Amino acid sequence: MTSLPVGQTYEYAACLLGNVARVHGAPDDVEDAAAVRVERSRIIRAGGHRIAFLLEESVLRHVVGEPAVMAGQLGHLLSVMALPSRSASFPQGANGLCAAVGVLEPTSAAP
């Protein structure tokens, strides 16, 4: 089983990473970093794996970009959850103890 941050659209990742870079005074490599996140997310649509997403419920309400960015991200999550061998859980009140991650397992490990 592997945990990895996946499932973000380019626009959402760019807004999120841009916000973090501004707060922490980090270098502006947001475009490259967002592109890498999206490329890593290609595994979501690849076959041969079962993926369970664990996202804190608050990420659905935490605004990181314009309404179009947020709507695009929600639409992306909904389309991913509809794929075979994909599931999602949104625990409420985890107090920051879970991040937005996907858990990746080979399909052969599926029950």
Side-chain-side CA neighbours of 37 within 13 Å: the count stands at: 22
The average pLDDT across 57-76 equals: 90
Tokens of 1: 């089983």
pLDDT range class, residue 33, cuts 50, 70, 90:
very high
Tell me how crowded residue 18 is: count the other CB atoms within 10 A of its CB: 18
Q: What is the pLDDT of residue 93?
A: 67
| 3-class DSSP assignment, residue 5 | coil
Q: What is the pLDDT of residue 110?
A: 43
* Residue-wise pLDDT tens digits, 45-66: 887 878 888 777 888 888 999 9
The domains of the chain are located at: 2-109
Which of residues 97 and 83 earns the better pLDDT score?
Answer: 83
The average pLDDT across 69-98 equals: 80
